[in-house]
Amino acid sequence: MENNILDSVKSKASKWLDGNFDEETKKKVRYLLEHDENELVESFYRDMEFGTGGLRGIMGVGTNRMNIYTMGMATQGLCNYLKKQFQNREIKVAIAYDSRNNSRLFAETTARVFSDNDIKAYLFDSLRPTPELSFAIRHFGCQSGVVITASHNPKEYNGYKAYWDDGGQIIAPHDKNIIAEVQKITSVDEVKFYGPDKNIISIGEEIDRIYLEKIKTLSLSPDIIEKNNTLKIVYTPLHGSGVRLVPESLKKFGFINIHSVPEQNISDGNFPTVVSPNPEVSAALTLAIEKAKKIDADLVLATDPDADRVGIAVKNNQNEFILLNGNQTGAILFNYLISKWAEKGKLKGNEYIVKTIVTTELLADIAKKHNVEYYDVLTGFKYIADVILQNEGKKQFICGGEESYGYLAGEFVRDKDAVMSCSLIAEAAAAAKDRGNSLFDTLLDIYMEYGFYKESLMNIEKHGKSGAEEIAQMMEGYRKYPPKSVNNSEVVTIKDYQVLKETNLASCKQKNINLPKSNVLQFFLRDGSKISIRPSGTEPKIKFYFGVKEKLEKRDDYDKVNALLDMKIQNIITSLNLK
């Protein structure tokens, strides 16, 4: 380890021994200084950055760790910005937190800082799903909100996510402006930590009731649920905040045969029964699927710790439980909602859906068939929320979603919502059962109508400074020398979100892309394949999203066409020299 780095870190850490820090923190810093140089460097070598989504990192002492001091400084910066934006009026915020270790402490600390800045804080009395925080912001007419969560990250992590007055995560220009205010806070001495109780209002079950009643209004088939209310559902919150509200919402919809995974109903930030509390990871659903096999369930639902994303498992035609990916679940949900809106005569011509650019084009095809407008947005649910905000009072939002297991219906929440998604997915399963089908049959029917779409994600990791340079060179290479064909299929369209241009290669015509700039490239092939390339914003990797398509003539051809699509993806990877 270089002496100058270590000396700088020791000097920085020593200030935590004399400053306005609690004794337990000082004790831990002293231990690092005396016994653990490696951890000392990791904890102090930089200041944790408040990014466009807030904070997320490993918990512990130090400037590069999640603790009450780094989080307090972030909150003070947010307070300062709110006071500039909403002068001469009462400012209100809502605060929620999940099951992670220290989440309640961080939430209470955040509330105290808001309170000491004369900002009224509505603090949930116990853990709640992130989407309910979005709902509460809108319900109370708040100017901002914060949820303490690190989503599906490992147990060592926690995070701090900030929201604006529409209930959506913060976007431009507020994101950069808040970051600037947070960066101005250079010492914990600038943080007002000791707000009075009078500015902190405890909220809880009364908001749950209103939130769940609003979700119930999204139900489109109460009669079908009544006939199929014994649909067997296994649900697991993976030790997180969906534990109470997801089953309550399912019951409100009319489902009476809901089975839990008792050992995962325990709200525990150590996530003792899983390696990762991530419903995208098959191992996370192991216990739920074991339970489902025992009781011959129809549907398995799993939500992440802050209950904004949902993973599902269904029985295939061999009666085996298989996990659906986020695109497949999205296709079932979107198809159900749009078809039901059409069936009920609710489509008046001003409805729309929203998806992210890396999400399956199948969702767009479903919308187009019903003459429903669709929007493509950059990766991140905050951009879906922004489209809803821009269209408020002008057009009718049906649903939105992204391939990473997040979905939303209705306009009363402005972030992905696994509570409502679980209920609507179960309703789609009941509707399928009413027709004598399973959700897997429904998916195959969608493929037969629109084409069998299959997606895959490939991450290539490049570590260190040289890795970052290599990723930049890869993006530059694809921009300067884009492939003319991939896997023997001609590239017909290129979308470059860095320069916001879409190029038709046949006509050489260009048109503008009306989105914020982002370092993303997309190649669309003549055979319907889509390749999206983007460097990760949070990790040392570059991501390749592949989407391919073939006809599915009949259900029995599923395995054959599925293998063909797998081969197609592998051939694209080979054609791009990625392996």
Q: Rounded distance, CA 546 to CA 361, Å?
A: 11
Please state whether beta strands 541-550 and 452-461 pair in parallel, antiparallel, or not at all (unpaired). antiparallel
418 burial (CB, 10 Å; 0-12 / 13-18 / 19+) is buried
Q: Rounded distance, CA 550 to CA 447, Å?
A: 9
What end-to-end distance do the CA atoms of the chain give, in Å? 35
CA dihedral (325, 321, 301, 264) positive or negative:
negative
Q: Rounded distance, CA 220 to CA 259, Å?
A: 23
Please state whether beta strands 452-461 and 406-409 pair in parallel, antiparallel, or not at all (unpaired). unpaired
Whether the bond into 535 is cis, omega within 30 of 0:
no
* Residue labelled with tokens 């500015």: 199
Nearest to 546, CA basis, from 445, 390, 347, 403: 403
Q: What's the token pair of residue 362? A: 């199948």
Alpha helices in 281-356 (DSSP H): 286-295, 326-343
Can you spell out the DSSP letters for 480-515? HS--SEETTEEEEEEEETTTTEEEETTTTEEEE--S
Q: Rounded distance, CA 301 to CA 322, Å?
A: 12
- Catalytic residue selected from 115, 134, 144, 151: 151
Contact by Cβ (8 Å): 101, 84: no
* Residue labelled with tokens 């306005």: 20
Q: What's the token pair of residue 78? A: 């947010």
Active site residue 151: yes
Contact by Cβ (8 Å): 379, 425: no
Hey, which residues does 459 pair with through a beta bridge? 543
Q: Rounded distance, CA 162 to CA 143, Å?
A: 11
For residue 180, which amino acid is it? A
The 10 Å CB-count burial string (b at 16+, else e) for 121-159 is bbbbeebbbbbbbbbbbbbbebbbbbbbbbbbbebbbbb
Catalytic residues: 151
